[in-house]
A and B are shown apart, each in its own frame.
Chain A
Amino acid sequence: MAFSHELVAECLQFEQAFCTAACPFSLDIRDFIGKLQQGRFNIAYKTYQNATGFPGIVSALCPEPCQAVCPMKDAGGAISLKALEKAAIAHARSTDPDRYNVPPKEKRIAVIGAGISGLACALRLASRKYRVTVFEKSERIGGHLYELLPEEIFLTDIALQFKFEQYSLVTNTEITNLEDLSFDAIYVATGKGGRSFGLTLGAGAPFATSHPGVFAGGSLAGADSMTAIVHGLNAANAIETWLKIGSMHHSWAPVTTKLPHEVVRILPSELIHPSNGSIYSKEEAIGESKRCLKCCCDACNFHSPLMSYFRKFPKRITEEVQVTITPSSLDGAAKLATRYISACMHCGLCREVCPKDIDTGEFLLQSHRTMRRLGQMPWAFHEFYLRDMAFSMGEAGLARLPDGCETSRYLFFPGCQLGASNPEYVIQSYRFLLTHFTDTSLLLGCCGAPAEWAGEEAGHAEVIARIYNQWEDLGRPVAILACPSCAHMFRKYLPEIPVEFLYSILQEKQGWREASFSGSTASVYDPCTSRHEPLLQDTIRKLATGAGFALDPLPMEGRMAECCSYGGQVAIAHPPYAENMIAKRIGQKNTPYITYCSNCRDIFAAAGKETFHILDILFGIGNGRDNGLSVSDRQRNRLELKKRVLTEFWNEEWNRMESDKKLVIPKDLQEKLHKNHILESDLLDVVEYCERSGKKLYDPDRNSYTGHRQIGHMTFWVEYRLAGEGRVELVNGYCHRLKIEE
């Protein structure tokens, strides 16, 4: 499994943008651009000024290496950063530098050379109130800038940036021997081909020389104009380290990036040109800045339902989860992550899109198990689903060889939800399979996914062992599956069992009745657990087109398939989150969906999206609309399925023990119970308990009885009236998680 804390340490969330890595000043361009996008020109200017020292000179001279690496260069034009920098200067409220109220320092620094590198170093040190003396052999400051720019541009900028700083300038003085200088530190910036005083440059650390206290950089060290400024600015930091701790070792390196190009989502847009031919207006600058993609690695956060909803990245998640699951913090003081540990849909998309293969979902699953083991995961988040799983394998479960067979080559395992959605799906499929493979056994049960998602290790192991034993008893047949989630579980935990999909057999045997959807257009919605089942995905498309559909692909399909919200069974732990996901999924396209997971089908249809199960199309079962099934109806369907298969395929009548009481429930109450995940069978159980024990309350005003009972951990309440002949009119039903200590 691709999860380790070492791997999370490699997360690319904080990698710099390509442009920043290309920028000699390592300007945080995402930050700069973000400020411009908000129209905050003054603060954008400050950012630029702090990074470059001389914004006027840099914006005039910078050769824009950022342009060559900008992903927008082939999508309308690289972001015009230089023009934006000029706009920041032009539209800033004030271009004055900050005035720092810092006490003067006694340390004295000599800068040799009043070129741009020396001046940059002098500027930084002077702003920190060191005593700086700049020696210049000529009569003027600016060095080689005279060859590159009109002097009014650079001299104006130099004067502006030194507006509030003091330094001594000694012109017409060539330093020929460093021994003559009595200073605490020296920066040698004598320019291209300048005097190096016999120093070894770059001696073991950036800007260090072979002589303690003497630093060097700029064109002398082979830097171009921009890098010369960068050297000056950063040499000032190296000098300060020397002055403070006496070390020549200052860590500085240009920013690099490991950001992969494929994580950038490019939105083409046309480059904006300044309408006046020189400087952007404010609106133009904001418009151009908004073209910027602010490149970063946020693939997981963008795609993962959990990370996008909770706005967290893997590093933050692992930190918060670690605090939550670490026993020392399990005193209830730091359970920051409990709810979102339970909100992972385990769709695998976070790992799929991660350039580092970080499987945050796996980490959340492991953490869920840990919390469950320690008894710290609220039982309420998964108890309903675990009881439903037990129901599927218990009362509604069945494992049978076909009549007359002592073993089977094939086994149909439809999963717990297909028959819950509509028994016809299972009955017609099994009927079809038997016509081709007469020795196909039937196993009605559950693959154990609810126990897996609940972090219930022992329960999950029991389910897996049970399936394995049943499979052995049935003759170790090939399992024919209808549900991609079951396949996911089988491949993960029952690798010995060979697996095939019902749909491949339907495709191969052309086993559907005539149904023509010619002229209809639909989109195949791949269930998340089909992500690594390309053959299955292809089969479904063939079946759909074979039925006459024209297919309109969804943006998120194939390996990018998204969970419908059923995965992880998160609806109780976090109802608004689940609803949010459903709305996003059904909003991908207006076309009807065709899917092959009954949960996707029923959830989308219930949310108003026309969604067919592929079996609806092949067997003419459903119409793509909401079947209006409650959680109770879904259990009744499973019982109905068992009864019907026993009758049709084994000629047996199933006489299930049923209560002598029958609940009569108004439609609106049925819907309320469904929304609250309350089973009518549980409420009937409570009524029977009240009637049997006499523990009930009478409301004379409403002429009704009220009582309660704890089932599992949950306490259920009923209000009811006895209507004779075993009929019980249910007036109300509700439940709570608190346990009453009676």
Chain B
Amino acid sequence: MAEPKKLICVSCNRELEMKKTDFTYLGHSFFTDLPRCPGCGTVYISEELVKGRISDVEMQLEDK
């Protein structure tokens, strides 16, 4: 497992932490823990996550 990427929210000057993040797609709602700014809540989603799990979930919901 690679070391989590260190990211700093420019607005709040704070390092991101894993926090609950809500998603919706095609009428379905769900959540997962993702790096977010503890101050303003700005979220980070890596391309790896987009190409992997997120893409799978999108496909499943489109065909569900």
List A residues at the B interface (Cβ < 8 Å): 332, 335, 338-339, 375, 378, 380-381, 694-701, 705-706, 708, 717, 732, 734-742
Q: A706-B44, A739-B25 are in contact. Are A697 and B16 (CB under 8 A)?
A: yes
Q: A697-B8, A699-B5 are in contact. Are A332 and B64 (CB under 8 A)?
A: yes
Contact A740 B43 (CB under 8 A): yes
Q: What's the Cα separation between A695 and B64 when bound, in Å?
A: 34
Residues of A within 8 A of B54 (CB): 736, 738
Q: A697-B16, A699-B6 are in contact. Are A738 and B44 (CB under 8 A)?
A: no
Residues of B within 8 A of A332 (CB): 27-28, 64
Contact A740 B47 (CB under 8 A): no
Q: A338-B63, A378-B26 are in contact. Are A698 and B8 (CB under 8 A)?
A: yes
Residues of A within 8 A of B33 (CB): none
Closest Cβ neighbor of B24 among chain A residues: A739
Contact A699 B7 (CB under 8 A): yes
Contact A338 B6 (CB under 8 A): no
Q: What's the Cα separation between A735 and B47 when bound, in Å?
A: 8
Residues of B within 8 A of A375 (CB): 27
Nearest 6 A/B pairs, CB to CB = A741-B22, A378-B62, A697-B7, A738-B23, A694-B11, A698-B8
Contact A380 B62 (CB under 8 A): yes
Minimum C-beta distance from A701 to chain B (A): 6
Q: What's the Cα separation between A699 and B45 when bound, in Å?
A: 13
Minimum C-beta distance from B31 to chain A (A): 8
Residues of A within 8 A of B37 (CB): 697
Minimum C-beta distance from B45 to chain A (A): 7
* CB under 8 Å from chain A, chain B span 1-44: 5-11, 16, 21-29, 37, 40-44
Q: What's the Cα separation between A732 and B48 when bound, in Å?
A: 12
Residues of B within 8 A of A338 (CB): 62-63
Residues of A within 8 A of B29 (CB): 741
19 contacts between A and B (CB under 8 A): A332-B64, A378-B61, A380-B62, A381-B62, A694-B10, A697-B16, A697-B42, A698-B8, A700-B8, A701-B5, A701-B6, A717-B45, A734-B51, A736-B54, A736-B58, A740-B21, A741-B22, A741-B24, A742-B41
In the complex, besides A738-B23, A742-B42, 7 extra interface pairs with C-beta distance below 8 angstroms are A335-B63, A338-B62, A736-B55, A738-B25, A739-B24, A740-B43, A741-B23
Contact B7 A742 (CB under 8 A): no
Contact B45 A700 (CB under 8 A): no
Residues of A within 8 A of B24 (CB): 738-739, 741
Minimum C-beta distance from A436 to chain B (A): 50
Closest Cβ neighbor of A741 among chain B residues: B22
Residues of B within 8 A of A735 (CB): 50
Contact A698 B7 (CB under 8 A): yes
Closest Cβ neighbor of B34 among chain A residues: A740
Minimum C-beta distance from B61 to chain A (A): 8
Contact B45 A708 (CB under 8 A): yes
Q: What's the Cα separation between A697 and B7 when bound, in Å?
A: 6
Q: Which of B29, B40, B62 has the most CB of A within 10 A?
A: B62
Q: A332-B64, A378-B26, A699-B7 are in contact. Are A738 and B41 (CB under 8 A)?
A: no
Minimum C-beta distance from B58 to chain A (A): 5
Residues of A within 8 A of B16 (CB): 697
Within 8 Å by CB of A700, from B6, B11, B21, B64, lies B6
Q: What's the Cα separation between A694 and B10 when bound, in Å?
A: 7
Closest Cβ neighbor of B37 among chain A residues: A697
Contact B44 A736 (CB under 8 A): no
Minimum C-beta distance from B59 to chain A (A): 9
Residues of B within 8 A of A732 (CB): 47
Contact B23 A695 (CB under 8 A): no
Contact A734 B7 (CB under 8 A): no
Contact A717 B10 (CB under 8 A): no
Contact A734 B47 (CB under 8 A): yes
Q: Which of B6, B24, B47, B64 has the most CB of A within 10 A?
A: B47
Minimum C-beta distance from A299 to chain B (A): 29
Minimum C-beta distance from B18 to chain A (A): 14
Closest Cβ neighbor of B43 among chain A residues: A740
Q: What's the Cα separation between A732 and B62 when bound, in Å?
A: 26
Minimum C-beta distance from B46 to chain A (A): 9
Q: What's the Cα separation between A729 and B24 when bound, in Å?
A: 31
Q: Which of B7, B16, B29, B51 has the most CB of A within 10 A?
A: B7
Closest Cβ neighbor of B41 among chain A residues: A742
Q: What's the Cα separation between A696 and B37 when bound, in Å?
A: 10
Residues of B within 8 A of A701 (CB): 5-6
Contact B44 A697 (CB under 8 A): yes
Minimum C-beta distance from A165 to chain B (A): 53
Residues of A within 8 A of B64 (CB): 332, 335
Within 8 Å by CB of B45, from A335, A695, A736, lies A736
Residues of B within 8 A of A738 (CB): 23-25, 54, 57-58
Residues of B within 8 A of A741 (CB): 21-24, 29
Residues of B within 8 A of A700 (CB): 6, 8
Q: A699-B7, A705-B10 are in contact. Are A737 and B42 (CB under 8 A)?
A: no
Closest Cβ neighbor of A379 among chain B residues: B26
